[in-house]
Structure 1
């Protein structure tokens, strides 16, 4: 028969389980609950932005209100006194109906499409780099085209300057030819005059022009080499940049239009307020716009500005030298023409004097011949058989008259005196006639010299006008000056020179 244990003293706790057992179960439950909350919070946190994580020190029912508060529209006061609600700034989709703008959601864990997203991001980076490289290549190509255009202009200007330099050198040869031709003048015409001074002045001016043109040619040659080197550098950078855009089929000019830039060096771009060109990106060694490209474009811009100024200066100097050379040549030709007119005037005077002297010489010669005839008549006949009665001093009338004392007839004395006087006059006339003949010979020689000097000056002017024609090249003038050597031109005139 069972024995019943009497109930113990009744306590306040009606639970049967032991407290330790119950506390162990509660602890296990609390631990599982905390673990569940932590894992859930951590799982949600990995899928939410950092600013959306709940503050552990804030009550749970207040976390959502604090989290949503930055999303709500803001009320702004207007100047007129009214109010307007504006969404908060930043990225995200604006919900106008609920007047909220949640921020853009960003996950910190890779999504299932992470590989495709990374591939798309890589493609975007590659495309952005390709676009930058293509834009840089377009700018390099445009700069290279402008450098080529500037090279062509510089080469054409160098050809024009070289042609003008050849004309200046030909002018020096013409000056030398003119000086040599004037050496053919007779000695009496070689007195230094203004024409010789003008030839010397022309030579000095032409030498100064030659030095100036040669300096322009040297400067343009240096600039030409720099432009060619810059063009090669731009071409190398352009080809290097094109390696990244070989598979992208789009014209480079279209790329520049999309970028709003017609020229990277900014010299020939048409200014327009509607076109806002992109700013120059900073050079990056690993980017699309490398320091080498920046240096090449900067050098191209500098050389283009310098070449533009050089072209203007060369064209201005060429035009100035052309006008100056024409003025100098016209002055020399005008001086030679003035000398020719003066020579012609003196020649006419000498010819008139020669004509007057010719008449005087003829009259003096005729008078001298008459004086010789008169002297022969006065001297009487050569033979006794030719004597007449009136010529004898022992004729009857004279013999009878001489019988008177102191009567000497003057016939013989007067005849001797007259004959002597006539002889002296004849000698004086012969002396004057000889002086007239000598003066006439000098006039003839002077007239010949004047004619020779006129012909030489005329040939000099004709030679200058013929050699200055544009069809006469420098080599032809050089051959002419080498073939024309006056040597000793005075020997030919010495045969007819007055003794």
Structure 2
């Protein structure tokens, strides 16, 4: 009987136990190869794809030896196999996958150096952001300090003006004491307004001094904040020697997320955050204080001018009243002198009449018709009850003339005293008007030329 070839795919020769042990060995080797594949090392060189034409005999009922022979035949006919590349079979293919190895690759030192350099430069860039932010904040604080210093200068000038006004008020009070003490030193409305002006200026001076103290304290706070920012910026700058100084952040670019969350070991430390917050608060307080200073300076100048104008107007009104009284006194003094002259003439007439009524001092100077012992009168007196009234009338007329003379002398004395009083009062009013006018001129010359900036005097501040 001739030998006939039998298809191997339809025949199972080996026992199942022998087949299963072989399959388990192949699977174990496959798992080991997958775990120890060279591409897990991270190498980028091309590797040869691994294939296996192992038939999983756990599904061997559908796989035959005949398929294996067909696969071998196709392998011999595949031209790629002749070029040194294993052909793909119906078995499982190992895909080109990267995975890590359990031991470091040969380029570990270079990789670690690259990672370190990247971290260092990333940290430096973050530090440069923080340092630029600190520098910008220093610039803001410096500008705010300059503005506050300018406001402090204005405040000092206004305060100096207030002190000068207080001194002028003192000179005004002392100047008004040079008025005549007899009639013009009584307290009037001008003295009361001078006291009110002094109280007003003293209160304004006290308020400005308090504001000036707050300004000096705020300037110290800004200076301390600037120094702290510079210290933090200098400390941050210690790691920026290898970076270029012409970066975008140094030119005012917006900061990134590096300034959001502080990190003790990062670029933005809690100390930097604290210093930035303190500087922002100091700048806000300084801006609020500057607005308060502007408002206070405007109010102070308005109140200062109002007090000065009120006192000047009161003094001018007092001068006008004094001049009006002086004019009335002058008119009345002239009328009084006219009355004195008239009364003097009347007194002279009465005195002449009284002297004439008394007659001559020597009886030999009497005329015959004036003598009371003339013959006609003696003859008439021989009868009882025939007394003439000539003697009694002469006596009564002399008494009346004497009384008129005394009354006229008293009236003349009163007119002379009144005229003298009017003259003295007139001189006092003239001196008082001159003193008040000198005080007003002094106030206008000294107070209106205040050492205050023109922008403040014009009300444009």
TM-score range, shorter chain: 0.7 to 0.9
Mapped to 2, the partners of 1:137 and 1:360 lie a distance apart of 100
Q: Are the counterparts in 2 of residues 182 and 460 from structure 1 also a CA contact under 8 Å?
A: yes
1:341, CA displacement in angstroms? 1.6
Number of matched pairs: 385
Mapped to 2, the partners of 1:401 and 1:329 lie a distance apart of 93
Equivalent position of 1:378 in the other structure: 357
Q: Are the counterparts in 1 of residues 329 and 426 from structure 2 also a CA contact under 8 Å?
A: yes
Equivalent position of 1:42 in the other structure: 36
Residues 337-366 of structure 1: CA deviation (Å, up to 9, x unaligned): 222222222222222111111100111012
TM-score normalised by L of structure 1: 0.69
Mapped to 2, the partners of 1:468 and 1:60 lie a distance apart of 116
SS of match in other structure, 2:187: coil
Equivalent position of 1:229 in the other structure: 224
Residues 52-88 of structure 1: CA deviation (Å, up to 9, x unaligned): xxxxxxx9999xxxxxxxxxxxxxxxxxxxxxxxxxx
Equivalent position of 1:392 in the other structure: 371
Residues 386-411 of structure 1: CA deviation (Å, up to 9, x unaligned): 44444334445555655666443333
Q: Does 1:453 align with 2:416?
A: no
Q: Are the counterparts in 2 of residues 259 and 278 from structure 1 also a CA contact under 8 Å?
A: no
1:471, CA displacement in angstroms? 5.0
Aligned ranges 1:47-58 → 2 under 5 Å:
47=41
Q: Are the counterparts in 1 of residues 322 and 429 from structure 2 also a CA contact under 8 Å?
A: yes
Q: Does 1:215 align with 2:210?
A: yes
Among 411, 422, 425, the alignment partner of 1:432 is 411
Equivalent position of 2:198 in the other structure: 203
1:472, CA displacement in angstroms? 6.7
1:321, CA displacement in angstroms? 0.9
Residues 258-277 of structure 1: CA deviation (Å, up to 9, x unaligned): 7425xxxxxxxxxxxxxxx6
- When the two chains are superposed, the root-mean-square deviation of aligned CA atoms in Å is 3.5
Among 331, 351, 368, the alignment partner of 2:330 is 351
Mapped to 1, the partners of 2:424 and 2:449 lie a distance apart of 40
Aligned ranges 1:106-125 → 2 under 5 Å:
107-108=100-101, 110-125=104-119
Alpha-carbon distance change, 331 to 103 in structure 1, aligned in 2, over 3 angstroms:
farther
1:428, CA displacement in angstroms? 0.7
Alpha-carbon distance change, 309 to 33 in structure 1, aligned in 2, over 3 angstroms:
closer
Q: Does 1:369 align with 2:348?
A: yes
Equivalent position of 1:282 in the other structure: 261
Alpha-carbon distance change, 390 to 117 in structure 1, aligned in 2, over 3 angstroms:
same
Mapped to 1, the partners of 2:254 and 2:306 lie a distance apart of 51
1:424, CA displacement in angstroms? 0.9
SS of match in other structure, 1:285: coil
Equivalent position of 1:151 in the other structure: 145
Mapped to 2, the partners of 1:336 and 1:394 lie a distance apart of 78
Equivalent position of 2:243 in the other structure: 248
Alpha-carbon distance change, 463 to 421 in structure 1, aligned in 2, over 3 angstroms:
same
SS of match in other structure, 1:345: helix
**Structure (1 or 2) with the greater helix fraction:** 2
Mapped to 2, the partners of 1:279 and 1:114 lie a distance apart of 30
Equivalent position of 1:77 in the other structure: none
Q: Are the counterparts in 2 of residues 260 and 278 from structure 1 also a CA contact under 8 Å?
A: no
Equivalent position of 1:318 in the other structure: 297
Alpha-carbon distance change, 330 to 140 in structure 1, aligned in 2, over 3 angstroms:
same
SS of match in other structure, 1:189: coil
SS of match in other structure, 1:323: helix
Mapped to 2, the partners of 1:222 and 1:193 lie a distance apart of 44
Equivalent position of 2:11 in the other structure: none
TM-score normalised by L of structure 2: 0.74
Equivalent position of 1:293 in the other structure: 272
Equivalent position of 1:99 in the other structure: none
Q: Are the counterparts in 1 of residues 197 and 307 from structure 2 also a CA contact under 8 Å?
A: yes
Equivalent position of 2:455 in the other structure: none
1:220, CA displacement in angstroms? 1.5
1:128, CA displacement in angstroms? 1.3
Alpha-carbon distance change, 131 to 48 in structure 1, aligned in 2, over 3 angstroms:
closer
SS of match in other structure, 2:239: coil
Aligned ranges 1:464-479 → 2 under 5 Å:
464-470=443-449
Among 300, 303, 308, the alignment partner of 1:329 is 308
Identify the range of structure 1 (328-337 vs 421-430) with the bigger mean alpha-carbon deviation.
Answer: 328-337
Residues 401-427 of structure 1: CA deviation (Å, up to 9, x unaligned): 556664433333322221221111100
Runs of 5+ unmatched residues, structure 1: 1-22, 50-58, 63-101, 262-276, 474-499
Residues 76-115 of structure 1: CA deviation (Å, up to 9, x unaligned): xxxxxxxxxxxxxxxxxxxxxxxxxx99967556455443
Mapped to 2, the partners of 1:258 and 1:151 lie a distance apart of 20
